[in-house]
Amino acid sequence: MTSVAGTPTITFTVNGNIESHVGDPFQRLATILRDEFGLIGTKIGCDAGDCGACTVLLDGRQVCACMIPLGQIDGTEIVTVEGLGSSDNLAALQRSFLHHGAAQCGICTPGMLIAATELLAKDAMPSKAMVEDALGGVLCRCTGYIKIVDAVVDAHQFLAPPVADSPTSETVGTPHPRVDGNAKVTGQDLFGADGAPSDALWLRPVRSPHARAVFKLGNLDAFCTAHPGLEAVLTAADVPGENSFGVYPDLKDQPVFADGAVRYRGEVVLALVGKRTAVEAIQFDALPIKWRVEDPVTGVTAATATEAPAVHISHPDNILVEGGLRKGNIDAGFTAAAAISEGQIQTAFVEHAYIEPEAGFAKRVGNRIEITACTQAPYMDLDECARVLGVGKDAVRIIPSACGGGFGGKLDVSLQPLLAIAAWRLQKPVRCIYTRVESMASSTKRHPATIQARAAADQEGKLLAIEMTADFNTGAYASWGPTVADRVPVHGSGPYFVPNVQIQTRSIYTNEPPAGAFRGFGVPQAAILQEQLYDDLALELGIDPFEFRYRNAIRAGLPTATGQKLEASVGLVKCLDALQPHWNKSRAEAARQNENHGGSRRRGVGIGCMWYGCGNTSMSNPSEIRISVSNSGRVTLFNGAVDIGQGSYTVILQICAEALGLPPSEFDLVHGDTDRTPDAGKTSASRQTFVTGKAAYLAGRDLRSQILRLANAGEDANIARHGSTLRVRDTGHETTIDLTDLPAIDEHGTVLTGKGRFDPPTTPLDENGQGNPYATFGFAAQIADLEVDMELGTVHLHRIIAAHDVGRAINPSLVEGQIHGGIAQGIGLALMEEYIPGRTENLHDYLIPTFGDIPEIDVLLIEDEEPLGPYGAKGIGEPALIPTPPAIFGAIRHATGVKVTRVPLLPHRLLEALKSHDA
Amino acid sequence: MLREFELDLPGDLQETLTRLPGGTPLAGGTNLLVDLRARREEAKRLVWLGNIEAFRDIKIDKAHVAIGGGTTVGDILRNSAMIDAAPSLVGAARVFGGQMVRNQATVAGNVCSGSPAADTVPPLLSLDAEICLASSTGVRSVPIDSFYSGFKKNQRKQDELITGLSWSVPGPSTANLFYKLARRKGDAITVVGVAVTVTRDGDRCSDARIALGAVAPTVFRAKDAEAMLTDQPLTEELIDEAARAAMAQSNPIDDIRASADYRRHTVHMLTRRLIGQAWRSLAGKEADK
C-alpha cells in the first residue's frame, strides 16, 4: 500500500476470511473487530496494552488489538478467538480449558487462549515456565492462573477428537464443567459491552477531577446545540425520581448526578448522550462547568479531627456508623494474663480490578425500562433504578449480562441509573462502557483500615481476651460501610474460643473513593492484626504458633464472640489436622535452610486461620428457586443467582439436578432476568452455594415429590424423561406420566412447578453484639512458605497450602478455582496492591498479581458437613482470601522477625522495617 | 478516543525520511499510542515505520551485532544467537512487558522513548552500543553513552530516525548481566534496572561497565564505580566499594513504585551482586583455561 493520509482501503484476513475495510487508518483493530465484524470475543479491558484481554494473533504473533492502528494491518493475517474453534467444534486448547476449569468469569479467556495459541504453535508440549512467560501479559483476576497454566500444558492431551459425553447421573461432588463454559472459551458469552442494540446512543459520564468542590453548570442547551451528534446533556435536574442511591434502605446518600457539590474524584457531574464519536470528541475543558475547589478531607485521622469539615452535613463528625461487641469482662481477661501482645496496622484502598469495566445498555419498552448490565445484585439494581426513575418496581427489568468479575465491586449500582435515566428520557436505547481509568476512579474499593488491638493469653496458651478498635475509611458515600462496621466485631477475635472480647468499629466519611464490598467486608484487614497478635502470644509463651492455634481453635459447642454456639460444621480443627504434617515439614526445612545458608535469603513459614459467616449479618436474606416442567417435557431451572465467574450457574444446577433426580443435561437454564427468575438475592457474602443452593435443593425435592405422588412411587424411585413423558421406576414397576395429559397452568405450557425458598436462620444482635448473626460459618487455615531477600526487601512465595472446610464441595474443581483466586487476591492485598486516587487509576500503575507472582498452591478440601446446607455445603468465596495475608505476614515474621504495620508490605517498607528491626 | 491524526504510511526508508520532518515516527506504538490517548503526548502526523524493507534484520557475526531499527523485543528473544551476542539484552527482553507487547515494541523505540525505566537501555549502555541515525540529508552514528541529555531528552533530531543499533559481541573473558527489580514478576515498570559488563584479564578486571536504570532522569553509566574496578583484582571489599559509588551517583525519585532511599539502597545491593556474579563466572572460565 502506498502512503496515504485519507481513508485508504485496508485488506487483511480475519480467521481466514479476506476482509476489506475503508476508514480512518488510526482506528484500533480491537474496535473494528468488535464493532465492524461483530467479533465480540476480543474483549477490551484497559485499552492501553496493560491487561491483554484484547490479544489477537497478527501473522501468528500475539499482539494487543487495542494497540494496533488499522493502517498497520494491510496484508496481514489476524486470528481472533472465533478462529480457534466454534462451540460445536472446540479446539483442543478450548476443551482443555473447560476440563480444567481454567475459565471463571471468562473475560480474560479469549486473550489467554490466543496467547497460548502462539506458544503451542511453536511447542505443543510446553513447560509450565514457558506457559507462564507466553501468557504473562494477560491479566486474570479470578483464577489465580494455576488452572490456566495446567490447561495449556495439558492441551496436547485433547488433540484427539472428543468422545461424546455420556450423560452422567453423578452430580453433587463431581467437577461438572461450567454450564456456561462453552460460551466462555469461545468468547461468545455476552458481557456488558457485548450485546447492545446497534442503534444505541452512547452515554459518557463526565466526572469530577476534584476530590471536593462545588460547581455551577452553564448553559447546557446551548452547549448541546453547538455540538452536532450530541443529543442530551443530563444532570441532576433530569432525574425523574430521587437523585440518590445506596445499599441500605435508610441510607441513600450517593447521588446519581452530583448536585452542585462533589465529594470524591470520579463522581459523576453530568452525562453526555449522543453519537459515540460526538460524545467522545468533547474535551473536558470545553464543558460549561465552573468549579470552586475545596480542601478535601483525606484519611480517617483528618476526618475525625475536631475542626474537620463535614463530608455530609447529615454527619457533622464524619462518623457514618459505629459498631461494637462486648463479651465477658475484658479487664478481667487482661488481669489474668501470662502474656499480652499489642499492635496496630494501617491498610490501603484496594481496587477490585475485575478485567471487565462496567458496561451495559438500557432501553425503554413502553412504560417499562429494561437494563442489561454486569452486576452482582439484579434485584437491588431493580429497586434503585425504580426509585431513581420514580416508577413502580414492576416497571423495571434487570437482565444481568455475563459478569466479567465482581468480587464485591459490582454489588453497588454504577451505570445502571445513568442508563435508565437516559433511555427513559430520550426514549431510545442507550449504552455505556466505562473506560478503565473511569472504572478505577469511580468504583468502590476495599476499606482502608486503621486498627489497634491487644490480646492476652494464660500460661498454657489459652486465649483470655482480645480488644480491638478499628476505623474504616468508607470514603465519600456509605456503600457497604455499615456492613464492614458490623462484620468486623463478629469476626474480629478470629476462629477461636476467646472468653473476653471487646471490639469497636467506626466507618468514617472522607473525600475519597467510596469503599464498599470487597471479598470479606473488612474481615481480611482485621484478621491480619488479630493473627499477628496471636503469633506474638505464642512466641512470648514459647508455644509453636500452629500449636497455639490448635489449642484455641473454636470447636462445636463452644460459644463464639457473639455467644452463638455452633453445633455442627465447625471444621477448623480438621483443617489444622490436615495441615499439621505440612507445617512440621516446612518449618523443619526452613530451620535447616536458614542455618546452612548465610546468604541474603531467609525462609519463613507462617499460618493464618479464618472463619467467615455465610450470608448477611443478622438479616433476612432469602433466596428462591423455581423449576418448571412443560407439557412438551421441557424441564427449566429458573436461577437468579448471578454467576460472576465463581460458578453458581453450575453449582445450583448440580444441586437441583441431584435433588430432583434427573441429570443436569436434562435442564434448560434461565438465568438472572428479574422478569423471569425469582429473587435469589445478591451474589455476595459467600451465600449463593449455601442459601440459593439450599433453595435449589428444596425446589428439586418439591418437584420430585410431586412427580412421585403422581406416580404413586416411593422415595427411592428413579425418574427419567422420555420426550413428553416422565417414567418413574420404583422397585420392579414403572409408571409413565404423560405430561401432555396434565393441565397447563400458564401460556408456556407449564404443568408442574417445583419451588424452593431458604432464608438462613439468624437472630438480631443485641446492644453488646450478642446473638446468632449467621446460620453457618466457613473455616480455613493456610500455610505460607516463602523466602525474603534481606538485601532487597522482596518476598518470594514458594507455596501456599490451603485447608478449607467447605461443608461439602458440590463441585471440587470450582471450589479449588475459588481458593486459587482468593489466594491470588490475598497475595495482592498483602504484598502489592495500593490504590491511590489520581495516581494509580490504570493497570500499569496499579499492579495486580500475574502468573509469576503465584506460588504453588495445594488445596486440601475439608468436608465437615453443614446440616442446613444443600448436601452439607457452605460458602467459599470470601474464606478463600482471608487467611492468605496473615499466613504470608506470619511467614515473613518467621523469616525476619519483622511485624507488618503497613499493608501492603511493599519491598521498600519491608526493607525499612528490617533496618529498624536490626537497629 | 484518539484525536484526529494523520497516519502516514511510507513505503520505504527513503520515503520515510522525507516524511519525517514535522512528523512523529510510529513503530510498535506501545508507548506512543497510550500517551497520545492519555493526552500526555502531542502529535499531528504519525509516520509508520512498518513498511521499511529489512528493517527488522539482525546480523550477528563473531565480533559484531547489528539490529535494524524495526527489531522488536520479541525478535531479540527469538534469535538464538543473541544469548551470546547480548546476554543482558536478552535478560531484559525476557522481563519486558508481556509477550504481546514484546511482539510490537521495538528496541529502537524503547531507546528513543528516553524513559529512565526503559528496560533495553541499561543493557545497551553496558554493551556500549552505537546508535545509527539517518535523515534525508545524511547518516550519523552516536554512542548510546552520549545519546541522552536529560529526562526524555536525547540527541535524535526531529527529522532523524534510528535505523539501527550495533555493538561488539562480548568475548569469552567478558560477562554481561542484567537485573530488573520491579513490584511484580513480569509486565511491570522497573523500580531499579542494573546492567553490568565485566571483562577479566588474568586476576584483574580489565574493563567494567555499569549502567543504571530508573534511578536518575536518564539511564546512565556509573563511571566512578567503573573506574574503581578497572585494572584491579575484584575483591568483595572493592566490589562493595564500587557498588557504593554507583549508589552515590544515583539520583532517584520517590514515586508510587518505591522510595528514593529504597532505590539507592538496591542500586548498592544489585550492583554488588551483579559485579560479584560476573566476576565469579569469569573466575570459573579462567580456571578452565
Tens-digit pLDDT profile for residues A460-477: 999 999 999 999 999 999
What does the pLDDT average to over A561-579?
A: 98
Is residue B273 pLDDT above 70, yes or no?
A: yes
Is residue B286 pLDDT above 80, yes or no?
A: no
When comparing pLDDT for A3 and A522, which is higher?
A: A522
Give the C-alpha separation, A705 to A29, whole Å: 56
Q: Do B184 and A852 touch (CB under 8 A)?
A: yes
Q: What is the mean pLDDT of chain A?
A: 96
From the list A62, A71, A851, the residue facing B7 with the nearest CB is A71
pLDDT score, position B44: 84
pLDDT score, position A3: 42
What confidence category does residue B1 fall into, taking pLDDT thresholds of 50, 70 and 90? very low
From the list A58, A72, A832, the residue facing B48 with the nearest CB is A72
**Interface mutation vs chain A, best among B3, B99, B255, B263, most A CBs within 10 Å:** B99
pLDDT in tens, A299-335: 999 999 999 999 999 999 999 999 999 999 999 999 9
pLDDT in tens, B227-241: 999 999 999 999 999
**Interface mutation vs chain B, best among A21, A72, A437, A910, most B CBs within 10 Å:** A72
pLDDT in tens, A48-91: 999 999 999 999 999 999 999 988 899 999 999 999 999 999 99
Q: How much is the pTM?
A: 0.97
Say if residues A885 and A826 touch (Cβ distance below 8 Å): yes
What confidence category does residue A4 fall into, taking pLDDT thresholds of 50, 70 and 90? very low
From the list A62, A71, A852, the residue facing B100 with the nearest CB is A62
User: Where exactly does CATH 3.30.390.50 map onto chain B?
Assistant: 174-288
Q: Closest-CA residue in chain B for A129?
A: B94
Contacts of A551 (CB under 8 A, 6+ apart): A460, A461, A462, A543
pLDDT score, position A171: 87
> What is the Cα A560 distance to its own chain's centre?
28
pLDDT score, position A596: 86
Q: Do A52 and B269 touch (CB under 8 A)?
A: no
What does the pLDDT average to over B108-132?
A: 97
Range list of β-strands (E), A297-447? 319-327, 339-346, 350-351, 359-365, 368-373, 396-400, 430-433, 445-446
For residue B19, which residues of chain A lie inside 8 Å, CB to CB? 3
Q: Closest-CA residue in chain B for A436?
A: B38
Q: Do B262 and A908 touch (CB under 8 A)?
A: yes
pLDDT score, position B7: 86
What confidence category does residue A918 fall into, taking pLDDT thresholds of 50, 70 and 90? confident
**Which architecture does CATH list for B56-168?**
2-Layer Sandwich (3.30)
Q: Closest-CA residue in chain B for A840?
A: B256
**Interface mutation vs chain A, best among B46, B72, B95, B100, most A CBs within 10 Å:** B100
User: Where exactly does CATH 3.30.465.10 map onto chain B?
Assistant: 56-168
Please give the full DSSP string across chain B, using - where no structure is assigned. Answer: -----EEE--SSHHHHHHH-TT-EEESS-TTHHHHHHTTSS--SEEEE-TTSTTTT-EEE-SSEEEEETT-BHHHHHH-TTHHHH-HHHHHHHHTSS-HHHHTT-BHHHHHHH--TT-TTHHHHHHTT-EEEEEETTEEEEEEGGGTEEETTEES--TT-EEEEEEEEPP-TTEEEEEEEEESSSSSS-EEEEEEEEEEEETTEEEEEEEEEESSSSS-EE-HHHHHHHTTB---HHHHHHHHHHHHHH------SS--HHHHHHHHHHHHHHHHHHHHHHHHHHHHH-
- Three-state secondary-structure class, residue A613: strand
From the list A49, A911, A912, the residue facing B101 with the nearest CB is A49
How far apart are the CA of B51 and the nearest CA of chain A, in angstroms?
Answer: 9
What does the pLDDT average to over A442-471?
A: 98
**DSSP secondary-structure letter at A693?**
H
pLDDT score, position A2: 40
What does the pLDDT average to over A440-455?
A: 98
Is residue A439 pLDDT above 70, yes or no?
A: yes
What confidence category does residue A494 fall into, taking pLDDT thresholds of 50, 70 and 90? very high
Give the C-alpha separation, A525 to A882, whole Å: 8
pLDDT score, position A166: 56
Write out the three cell numbers for A818: 475459588
Maximum CA extent, chain B:
63
Say if residues B87 and B170 touch (Cβ distance below 8 Å): yes
How far apart are the CA of B143 and the nearest CA of chain A, in angstroms?
Answer: 31
pLDDT score, position B284: 73
**Interface mutation vs chain A, best among B187, B247, B273, B277, most A CBs within 10 Å:** B187
pLDDT score, position B187: 83
Q: Do A25 and B101 touch (CB under 8 A)?
A: no
Q: Do B29 and A832 touch (CB under 8 A)?
A: no
- In chain A, pLDDT over 90 holds for what percent of residues? 95
The domains found in chain A, sorted by start residue, are 1-161 (3.10.20.30), 201-295+358-433 (3.90.1170.50), 445-616+766-918 (3.30.365.10), 623-758 (3.30.365.10)
pLDDT in tens, A724-769: 999 999 988 999 999 999 999 999 999 999 999 999 999 999 999 9
Is residue B208 pLDDT above 50, yes or no?
A: yes
Give the C-alpha separation, A879 to A823, whole Å: 10
For residue B99, which residues of chain A lie inside 8 Å, CB to CB? 62, 115, 118, 133-137
Q: Closest-CA residue in chain B for A912?
A: B262
The CATH code for residues B174-288 is: 3.30.390.50
